[in-house]
Structure 1
């Protein structure tokens, strides 16, 4: 059986990873989240965006995968699993998932805004959040940025095509921790449903997908995912 897990910010939030919509430390509370998640925000104030991402990248490196992440990694002992994620952290990989398609990029990868050359030099280590920090400069003169997808940018072609292929070849799609409102990624469950595939939604809150899903559970990833691999065949019956 081939299973695809489509994950969003909710599963990482269970590990303590702040989201754009739920920044609870207050430091960035006076800024519109769009300012740190859009290409327009970067062009207006790269120091603010760089400071935000560098702090959250280092925060993510200290956060541990939760039982939901680990369950998905463990599923590989029972079924063929691929992960398609909107998250830019590496929690799925650290929890044991071997195939992860990051359709919104990877905050642990950096590149030049001008020449796109990868940047692998050491980065400043932050012990506390910094509101504004000057980004490094590439040898070509361009500013270094995280290799993530901001609002106003296209999705990376390779992981996006891999995600579509995974969906098209899946028997079951498990959608976990995503609000289902950020397109085009939010269209992946709709693609699966249009092909007649079984779609299982796991989210504490109702989403636009809830009424369409084959099964929709009002619970968290940590509560629902452990042990679910053994039950997935029954959903196909």
Structure 2
């Protein structure tokens, strides 16, 4: 719509990072903002809306953004909006084919949790909804057909779970581990990666996983504890997968390597 990314002095900077400027691919824009924040020790960059206000009614066109900004004391479109990179879409996931079939019998994956190859190495804008609809319909048809042939096998009963002694997990410890996990992922497996950071991430995450795994087995289960264990498990998978990928491409941007 004509908005421009600027630094805290009001200077546009995207043309230095890509010929398309503010219309560059989203991974390029994220790296540009991240790099500027790092180099200038800034908490954010800014989105200058002065060009947008000239030809549209901003409040009518973007009511949610307008309300959110005004709740925080930002007068839009007069004031620039502080912006930082953020996780928006999970690229990758459970490997699945074009109808959601995975390597695990009976397990199907569609949408953001699936890795189908549709998006390539970067997310394609406005494709996720269409992907969910198409894959959802095709997967439902596949399940409906295969469901008629399914049979229930007799299995041994699940042993009674023995309740561990002690109380539930200390929420302070869980919250601290979540913060540590987020910091590790942002600093070492974030927008700009290199092998030394990835190695540090694998080391730190393995130690954190061992600690939480023991914590998990010795305490009463709770939603926050289960979520933390799942978060660390996924984080380790991402770290080790990124460490094995020596190609700098799309969201997996390796410092010092040409794409």
TM-score past 0.5 threshold: no
| Structure with more of its chain in helix, by fraction | 2
Q: Which has the higher contact order (CA 8 A, sep 6+)?
A: 1
Normalized against structure 1, the TM-score is what? Answer: 0.24
Higher strand share: 1
Q: Which has the larger radius of gyration?
A: 2
